[in-house]
Structure 1
């Protein structure tokens, strides 16, 4: 049973320090690794938060020279990574600490890859076998999540878009796993409700899609179901009346989702990714809006799995038929929008969105075949849903 007054260490496979206050262990850890000049990679919003400024002061008082890189887009692009590489080299840094949500983690991990790998960044795209070029050592890399969403802190890949085409690339290697994750739920308490809700729905989507994906990985299935339970039973309270217990469960559920989706994701992410790359929509929000529509499409033929997910979310036995409606209800309880039109999506966007969705790297793991016409139909349904 989770005890918020206790800290924990566990490995899967990254070493994870979990619990209230573990952020205080970062400086001693860096000192133990003989680090002198870490580069903290975060977004501009986190850079201004009190805990981050306090962390910089703590590190400087411990005689570290600290460089901060916070130049990144809401959906990170290659130039964000190259700017971080340049700053790292200019300041002769010797470690990277990713602090924040999925954007900061992706940029930090991609910078970590780039330091000693000098081909064009997208030569390392995993979808074209680029992992074969990840042959050199990488700087020491640590992660500190401040949201409970992507779970990128325990990941080994980064998703970076082309500045011009907006097409997403996957940079992947086991070398990109963090040496240690410092998962402190206390850092999430000051998140505004929207960010808590949107990132939380991202984490729920990870777990659900991993469980439904057609890959075979029974360990990931078990982790995904536990993640669904943790998030499904805590996301509303964590958003609307947060406390350390609900925030702790959300952070654990997020970590679980990132571990589980090594099995694969599916069409919900294929729907969401173009909304982010083409229209700059928040990734978690895009998943939240698209999740019930993707679940509805995949339901026939997978009723047993839907019954299990529904039971895990405390909907009762044989209630898979109500799972889609329950997601709509959760979005409403979280004050998240129910349709795409509310986010500026228009009819003329449907065709280009569908063209990107059918090419998305998550689609091959979807349990059912989806055509470009299907994507157009789903986007159209989600456009004005009420």
Structure 2
């Protein structure tokens, strides 16, 4: 919900600016440090990782190819589960807030996925696992499935003839679309709370060609590696939900209204932001109140770009005193939220013993 609010606020902010003066502004992309999606309590310092999932099997086959793929996919799911858990383990092991990150073997099993209608592990079982392994919380790969759809079509392919010349011959092309779905949970046994739950869906497409369907199937050589790499990446991505992330945000600044704003636009296009800001600051004392508001707004943008959020907020408040527009009000709300989010993100980075290349003023 928090992420959706931030996204909606940013969209409305951009629309208001565009409606206010479409041709009088120019867009620029900034980097914003967003708080972690998952904020663990400071008391959680020992982590256990378990696997609730199991490889699924298929019993009905339309043809020989599906039967071969089913056998391959069953092993691929087992290896994919290991890769996903490995990705999570490696990411959590880097986080200095945790004294312990432990892989735990259990007998729990979930083959139904995630969601409100799917049962989680009983809290007695979660607490028993935590107590037995001396951990504070459980990260669980709750669900993993790799399902492959097959399509085959006729296609001309190249082959060498007796004279080693390449010629076109009748052949087949097979396409395998492997959907990798895996779901993750974080259990807090002592507060009996599922702290987080998330599902990843990724698709790997592989193709092969041959004179017949079986040759085309065996021509595919990179599918296994691609699935394992993607599985490991999802595990790593889930671990990164504990850390603040840099996100691109779009801002607009005024480029019309006076000769100095036009000149500053050219300087900004040359990446000479300091010189552009010097011209904007001169216009903040202009006798025209709307022009002063634009210049103050641009100074707010310039300071936000440089990580000086409180100074940016001061400037946009000055802009509002000259012109109480919806755009100024929206930008003020954006900056207030960014100040709050940045403080939270820096605290999270400090807890993880990571440094932020950010000057906060």
TM-score range, shorter chain: under 0.3
Give the structure with the larger strand fraction.
2
| TM-score under structure 1 length normalisation | 0.21
TM-score, structure 2 as length reference: 0.22
The structure with more radius of gyration: 2
Which structure has more relative contact order (CA 8 Å, sep 6+)? It is: 2
